[in-house]
Chains A and B, each alone.
Chain A
Amino acid sequence: MALKQVSSNKCFEGFQKVFEHDSAELKCKMKFGIYLPPKAETGKCPVLYWLSGLTCTEQNFITKAAFQQAAAEHGLIVVAPDTSPRGCNIEGEDESWDFGTGAGFYVDATEDPWKTNYRMYSYIKDELPKLINANFPTDPERMSIFGHSMGGHGALILALKNPGKYKSVSAFAPICNPIQCQWGKKALGGYLGPDASKWEAYDATQLVKSYSGARLDILIDQGKDDQFLSAGQLLPDNFIAACTERKVPVVFRLQQGYDHSYYFIASFINDHIKHHAKYLNA
């Protein structure tokens, strides 16, 4: 697969680049952002995958989160893909902001008309890492994943469904229990069909209950003033309870005064980068 560089900006002695490629999974052109730290010029670096939330593209994170400094400091390559396939001309894809375009929910859809293109789970799990490892100075053994909101949900499920693949996982205001919240019900129902039992495979809280893989160390930051928290879309308590039950180590921080925005992400991104660096650089 050929990569086409879309943009490149020097940042903290490294480079923030955007590439475009033809995705086999998603059957369309996809863009992703990649930050290459200074260390990447001379050696292989671990890779940290960021999954953005609803309505985001590859741009939001690289422009708003202000993670580059920490990434440079710890020598991490940070990859930020798009949140869904684009320009597929599927009917209804642009109807709502929380389903379809910009709302891939990191699942492999089984329902028509989505199942051809909407395979974000496989894209993130297989195609993208392969692409990145082939084209950039990466250490393929060292990978971690984190995300925000829908991306947080994606990070959690990818880690839970693939024990040992990711050295560490963390999330900002993740959708912890999609089968219980409005967003989840809409999206999972739309992509996977009405059978709720099929949804469980993409629900972090559910997945944790039966998790028995390598030990995880999960860091979750949640703004206390997050409107979606109060709207019951996120349901972190359920996840925590499940983790407590299952003795999955989680540190969940409820951050006073913070909301759902990138301002919140930017405030705590360093802690998350360090959290991942601890495991990726160990």
Chain B
Amino acid sequence: MDLYGSKERFDIFPEEPSGRGDRSLGDTRRESAPSSEKVQRPQEVGYDLEKEVAELAKMYGLDEDREKELELLGGRLEKVESRWPPARTEKAGLQGSLYNRSKSSSSVKDPSQSTKQQGLPDEASQGENQSKARADDEAESSTWSRGGLSSGGMSDEWNSQAVSEEEVEEEEEEEEAADVFCSTCKIPIRAFDKLFGEHKDHEVAQLPSAVESEKEEIHKNMCKLEEQIAQMENVASHLEEIFITVEENFGRQEQNFEVHYNDAVQVLAQKYEEQLEALGEEKRQKLEALYEQLVSCGKHLDTCKELTDETQELFLENDKVEFMKVKKFLKQEVNLELSTLPDFEERTIDVSEVEQLMNSINAIPAPCAPVINPQAPNAATGTSLRVCWGLFSDDTVECYQLCYQPVKHTLKVKETYCTITDLLPNTQYEFWVSALNASGISPPSERAVYVTAPSPPIIKNKKIQSCENAALVCWESRDINPVDSYTVELSKLTDEENDDIITESIVGIPNCEVLIHLQPTQKYYICVRAQNLGGSSERSEPVLIHTTGTCFYLNEDTAHPLLAILDDGFTISCDELENPECDLPVYDNSFTRCIAILGSLIPFPGRHYWEVEVEEDTEYRVGVAFENTPRHGHLGANNSSWCMRHIITPSRHKYEFLHSGMTPDIRITVPPRRIGILLDYENCRLSFFNADIAQHLHTFNSHFQHYVHPCFALETPGILRIHTGITTPPWTALP
């Protein structure tokens, strides 16, 4: 907004706040002072709002003060500008009336004021017509229109002072320019007037500087007005909200009444029916009774007639004996009274029920159904849930009734939330809630399903496989139902005591196992959490993994029935050998002929090393095999296994290095007690060493197409002790 000299603004300037006052001009558009000022900004902005605000302001009685203030302002400004007259001439009219006056740049026209005022109405109306032609200006004009231009009104409003003094007809002032500013009267005057007019004793200031100071003042007032406008906007929107709420409340009450009145009407109708029916019934009964009476009368009549006839006949009878016999027949009494009265019973119309209904209309309605919230994050633990709901109406509510299932429970709760405990983990519960007050209970809310968090899983400690660079960890869920995913957390142990720091977190694991990449020769604590919609379970018991060397476990499923795994899980023994193909129970996956067992898969690339401690008098086979090595076969006898075999002959120890049933002819003079096995996926070799003397025994060069399992077999009773987690010794590098 340009406060300082846009022509547009000038156009608006001369208007006065109207708001109140005479609307004789018939201008229905009134704007309060604030809006008029506001309008002086780009004129398109806020036109409607101003109108509204003007109305509201009027309602709140805001306009009066503003009006005055702005009058002053407007007036002053008008005086200050001298360019207006030309622009305004066309406008004529209303902006007219005051405008004309205020604009007068020429000297005081006090004397003419009143006369002018008289004349103004005419101009005003003229102006009004003309101004209506102008789009934006109209607003201002209306605002400013001092409606009444009625002399009285005018003068009052113009109690601003000098302004009124100056009101003269526009046309008349055009040619006279003011050039100094009278600070006393606060109007521009001609220097001439200073000397000779009534201003001669007043203080004067140069016009330009006066203009400047006026501009500053105006600017300040502008800001205030803007604030006001903002406030008014808030008020307006708040009122809108209230409008809406009133509508809503009305709607609800209306419905409420409708229901109740309908009920009452129904009850009345019902009563009417009932009464009518009873009445009908009574009528029927009466008619029946009368009819019966009629019938009996009729019979009686017949009987009498017969008797009469007989009597007459009898009189004609000459037999005196017969005559004397018929004396009794008229002894019958005839009941001539009416069996029933024609009048109906009095029936009271029982409207007590209806009365009750009518009375209850005035009572508070039962509440509307509350709205139950969906499950919020962190609202669940493994055994508890925090359920929340809300009431979206103004109903009075005394308390809530929360229900849930499975196993239906009902609780009364005063607040709009409740924490339920003693729940099962990883289970869905359905909740619904009703609101209660003196009138009754609301319909139940929609049902919301909440899920408790899962139980922490259990890591299969004995089934951890690792090597220097990685670990394969698996676990099992403690919940019956599936969970969404698992999160693995690992922390590396350093020498300091801060082993609670999680260094890495792997989320979104779909199955119960994970392959983690690790640093060599470090210690890690690893734990697992289960995740579902309800959140995360507590941490599982951690496991410690030491990445010194390759670790695997023995796969019991594959063990030949005669092979026993001792308690430490890494020693195998065979006691007797009677019949390797005996009738002992066999798993699908176990060896049947070769008394062998597979270790778990070594699924990590690179080099792996382990050792087997053997006894001199034990015949054995140790090596590696593919998963699919035939369980009916012998280790080394097929192309899916490689092994070193020790046989004892009467003369010496014999060693074979078997693959596909073939072995090179190799003599070893010192029987190894501790065999070192190096599996090098990278360099495609499998090497055997006498680990005690670092002596290389033999190397298979084979590009392993799949990962392999370590394998072990006993051919005579004895024990093999397997050692894992050993750092690969340097002397295994060659040959």
State the A residues within 8 Å of B (CB).
Answer: 215, 217, 224, 240, 243-244, 247-256, 271, 274-275, 277-278, 282
Contacts and interface: CB of A to CB of B under 8 A. Distances in A.
Contacts of A249: 668-670, 690, 693, 695
Interface in B660-689: 664-670
A252 B666 contact: yes
B171 to A, nearest CB: 114
A244 B654 CA distance: 12
B669 A240 contact: yes
Contacts of A248: 669-670
A274 to B, nearest CB: 4
Contacts of A253: 664-666
Nearest to A244: B669
Which of B668, B698, B735 has most chain A Cβ within 10 Å? B735
B693 A215 contact: yes
Contact of B665 (A217, A256, A271, A277): A256
B735 A278 contact: yes
B652 interface: yes
B696 interface: yes
A224 B666 CA distance: 11
A248 B670 CA distance: 7
Contacts of B667: 240, 250-252, 254
Which of A217, A251, A277 has most chain B Cβ within 10 Å? A251
A69 to B, nearest CB: 15
Contacts of A275: 696, 734-735
A221 B293 CA distance: 146
Contacts of B652: 244
B1 interface: no
Interface of B: 652, 664-670, 690, 693-698, 730-731, 733-735
A247 B668 CA distance: 10
9 A-B pairs with the lowest CB-CB distances in the bound complex, closest first: A254-B665, A274-B735, A243-B669, A252-B667, A278-B734, A250-B669, A244-B669, A249-B670, A274-B734
Nearest to B666: A253
Contacts of B665: 224, 253-256
Contacts of B694: 217
A243 B693 CA distance: 15
A251 B697 CA distance: 7
Contact of B666 (A247, A254, A271): A254
Contact of A247 (B669, B696, B733, B735): B669
A275 B694 CA distance: 12
Given A244-B652, A244-B670, A255-B665, 12 more contacts: A240-B667, A244-B669, A248-B670, A250-B670, A252-B666, A252-B669, A253-B665, A253-B666, A254-B665, A256-B665, A271-B735, A274-B735
Contacts of A243: 669-670
A277 B670 contact: no
Contacts of A215: 693
B731 to A, nearest CB: 7
B678 to A, nearest CB: 13
Given A244-B652, A275-B696, A278-B696, A251 B733 contact: no
Nearest to B690: A249
User: Interface of chain A, helix or strand or loop or mixed?
Assistant: mixed
A71 B584 CA distance: 57
A211 to B, nearest CB: 12
A127 to B, nearest CB: 31
A254 B664 CA distance: 7
Contacts of B669: 240, 243-244, 247-250, 252
A274 B696 CA distance: 11
A247 B731 contact: no
B731 A278 contact: yes
Nearest to A277: B734
A217 B730 CA distance: 16
B719 to A, nearest CB: 23
10 contacts: A217-B693, A217-B696, A244-B669, A249-B668, A249-B693, A251-B668, A254-B664, A274-B734, A278-B696, A282-B731
Contacts of B734: 274-275, 277-278
A278 B694 CA distance: 10
Contacts of A224: 665
Contacts of B735: 271, 274-275, 278
Contacts of A252: 666-669
A217 B666 CA distance: 15
Contacts of A244: 652, 669-670
A181 B658 CA distance: 34
A277 B694 CA distance: 14
A256 B731 CA distance: 28
A200 B698 CA distance: 32
Contacts of A256: 664-665
A250 B731 contact: no
A271 B697 CA distance: 12
Which of B652, B664, B695, B698 has most chain A Cβ within 10 Å? B695
Nearest to B664: A253
Nearest to B671: A244
Contacts of A278: 696, 731, 733-735
A255 B665 CA distance: 7
A150 B642 CA distance: 36
A278 B693 CA distance: 13
Contacts of A277: 734
Contacts of B697: 251
A247 B670 contact: yes
A251 B689 CA distance: 11
A247 B653 CA distance: 13
B657 to A, nearest CB: 10
A159 to B, nearest CB: 15
Nearest to B731: A278
A156 to B, nearest CB: 13
Nearest to B730: A282
B695 A217 contact: yes
Nearest to A274: B735
Which of B666, B669, B693, B697 has most chain A Cβ within 10 Å? B669
A255 B663 CA distance: 11
Which of A274, A275, A278, A282 has most chain B Cβ within 10 Å? A278
B649 to A, nearest CB: 12
B494 to A, nearest CB: 33
A180 B164 CA distance: 151
A168 B592 CA distance: 44
A251 B664 contact: no
A99 B485 CA distance: 82
A57 to B, nearest CB: 29
Nearest to B653: A244
A274 B731 CA distance: 11
A253 to B, nearest CB: 5
A5 to B, nearest CB: 32
A90 to B, nearest CB: 39
Contacts of B668: 249-252
A251 B665 CA distance: 10
A241 to B, nearest CB: 8
A239 to B, nearest CB: 9
A244 B671 CA distance: 9
Contacts of A282: 730-731
A251 B696 contact: yes
Contacts of B690: 249
